[in-house]
Amino acid sequence: MKHDDRPLIVPQGPQDTPAGHVKTLIDGGDMDCGSGLLLLITRAMRRLEAGDSLGIRSAEPSVEVDLPVWAELVGHQIVSRVAETEQGPWWFSVAKAGVPAESATVFSLGGRTPVGSRLWAYTNFDCNLACLYCCAESSPKADARRLDVDVCRDLFAEFKAQGGKELFLTGGEPFMHPELGQLVEAGDGLSRTILTNAMVFGKGRRRETLENIDRSVVMQVSLDSAAPGPHDKMRGAGSWARAMDGIDLARSLGFQVRVAATMFDEDPVGVAALHERLDAIGIDKEDRVIRPVADEGFAEGGVHVSIDNLEPEPVITADGAWWHPVAITNPHMRIADAPLVLEEIFGVVRDTLSVQDAAEAAGREVFRCA
């Protein structure tokens, strides 16, 4: 189901419902918690003050079981529950707990990254996987569109000279770029992170590349769930087990490993299980990112992103520069053509933000990728 077809939050202010007086009402229809209802609830909760009540109407029987589990996990209180008939629909009143807003979502949050301090680079677009939500539309059949090492040496040197600090190398699968090691070396002096599915660097030349990379480089590995099911559904059969093997290999070689999970909807139970798994294998809590799917690329649904609601993290590719790494298939988010000039890229972003910040009351949420 596309996100645009989902029931919307009903922003009618305080109103009376069968479950009592509420500040805001959501009609979830027949959605269950795993197919998007929790995402709608979480968005609504973030707009409420502590103690305010959210009304939820649902025709889905499983919500009776799942909603109390979610409320307990995040600290909210189900004040009342009323059934119109034995077969539903059901009405709930949920009081927001007196906790920071970020506690109400399983997704990782963060503040604005200063423009000019972080640069993303799509090393290539070919990949051994074809994930169902890939924002870059990468796959084994995709045109590689590889970044040129000489171009990157100049760009990364310019980035450092301008005070840049963080470099993120993503794809595609970066380890399918035959000159990845040289790209990493071109970023020497920066805090460097490689985003990888950890499935292809175990043997041959790619293993040599991995072993020759400086151990100050962080490996950010995609792992969407505590067990194979959800991960393999989105990324392909057997990919979870191979990702776990890749994590073990990278850590055994002395790399710091960060784990990033991507999910269509809020899944407190699944996220809790993933955290337990990461605890068991020794991944530090600060090295975990839980992010929603962006409605870009291959994704059929997910969070709508635009220049108006997405904090900028400029990214370069072989084709040009974009506002953010989740939006490099969106022509409306393109900010520069090749050949690339970083001063122009960051200048466009700063000028755009200066206009947007005049209307900051509208707010902007951070979509974390790392």
- In whole angstroms, what is the distance from residue 305 CA to residue 310 CA? 6
pTM for the predicted model, two decimal places: 0.72
Provide the token pair at 125: 């677009």
- The answer to whether 335 and 323 are in contact (CB under 8 A) is yes
Q: Is the pLDDT of residue 360 over 70?
A: no
Q: Going along the chain, which residue ranges are E strands?
A: 9-10, 15-17, 20-22, 24-27, 53-58, 77-83, 90-95, 118-122, 166-170, 191-196, 218-222, 257-263, 288-292, 315-316, 320-322, 334-337
Provide the token pair at 362: 């509208």
Task: Specify which of 110-114, 305-309, 319-323 reaches the highest per-range mean pLDDT.
Answer: 319-323
- The answer to whether 53 and 46 are in contact (CB under 8 A) is no
3-state secondary structure at position 160: helix
Q: Average the pLDDT over 246-275 and give the result.
A: 94
For 208-221, how does the pLDDT look when each residue is reduced to its tens digit (9 = 90+)?
999 999 999 999 99
Task: Name 53's bridge partners.
Answer: 95
Q: For 328-337, give one letter per residue: b (16+ CB within 10 A) or e.
A: bbbeebbbbe
For 267-316, how does the pLDDT look when each residue is reduced to its tens digit (9 = 90+)?
888 999 999 999 999 999 999 999 999 999 999 988 888 887 788 999 99
Domains of the chain: 3-104 (3.30.110.40), 118-362 (3.20.20.70)
CA dihedral 260, 261, 262, 266 (to 10 degrees): -130
